[in-house]
A and B are shown apart, each in its own frame.
Chain A
């Protein structure tokens, strides 16, 4: 199974450069080879069409890296709220979220 990562962001939210840097760091550290697609979301219609829950949204093989993503969360143009392991809020996914999402896909790949 190949690995595809979708990196979706809304340019008006300032968090996407940090999120992109974090994603690249995790990919470099894990040595995971993946096809990374970036998608710029600029309108509410685009957000709806892409089920964009806020900026940034990162999906590994279609699955959101944040395991706490509520089902049916509305698509919208804003910065997305994440929570770090210690409970503090953040505007970007944690390294652990990205690592775990990659690990889950690799585990499936090995089976």
Chain B
């Protein structure tokens, strides 16, 4: 998917038992960050505190983060739907965490890594793609806040200063 493309719609099960439709999220928010994610990857683990902070800081501004886990749960049992529910609860995730069991959504987005961000405006258009910021390991050492900067731009009706960065993380574990 390229910057400016319309994102594929999806409906996926959330860890709380509900079904989440991207179209509904877009209708209720000014921006939606679809983040391909998982439980086991050290890069995801490192960035999780930033995901929680961004959701907290931007929830009141009409932004929804949705983490999508498409990893093969047979080879990676810690990425099973049950393990996702446990991690969502134990880590206090304030963002949506949905399961892409068929991996069709990950393939439709041409996602390759976890984490990998696809920031959509409220028309479902891709406005930023890449990493959350420039330091997965140390929030205090971040110099480039790519996702925050892109969110600020989208909320202000402007073009993100950096629209594309190289995703950094584990590969999606295909079946």
Contacts and interface: CB of A to CB of B under 8 A. Distances in A.
A59 B9 CA distance: 46
What size tier do the contact residues of chain A reach? 10 to 19
Given A13-B170, A79-B41, A91 B46 contact: yes
B41 A81 contact: yes
B73 interface: no
Interface string B37-53: 00011110110000000
Tell me what chain A mostly uses at the interface: helix, strand, loop, or mixed. Answer: loop
Contacts of A79: 41-43, 169-170
Interface string A63-104: 000000000000010111110000011110000000000000
Contact of B46 (A76, A80, A90): A90
A13 B169 CA distance: 7
Contacts of A13: 170-171
Nearest to B78: A81
B2 interface: no
A21 to B, nearest CB: 14
Tell me what chain B mostly uses at the interface: helix, strand, loop, or mixed. Answer: loop
B10 interface: no
B44 to A, nearest CB: 9
Contact of A91 (B42, B75, B76, B171): B42
Interface residues of B, number: 16
Interface string A1-35: 00000000000111100000000000000000000
Contacts of B40: 78, 81
A84 to B, nearest CB: 8
B167 to A, nearest CB: 10
Given A76-B75, A88-B46, A90-B46, A14 B41 contact: no
The 4 tightest CB contacts between A and B, nearest first, are A89-B45, A91-B42, A81-B42, A79-B170
Interface of B: 40-43, 45-46, 75-76, 136-138, 168-171, 173
23 contacts: A13-B170, A13-B171, A14-B169, A15-B42, A78-B40, A78-B170, A78-B171, A78-B173, A79-B41, A79-B169, A79-B170, A80-B42, A81-B41, A88-B137, A88-B138, A89-B45, A89-B46, A90-B46, A91-B42, A91-B43, A91-B46, A91-B136, A91-B137
Given A91-B43, A91-B136, 14 more contacts: A13-B171, A14-B169, A78-B76, A78-B173, A81-B41, A88-B46, A88-B138, A89-B42, A89-B45, A89-B137, A90-B42, A90-B46, A91-B42, A91-B46
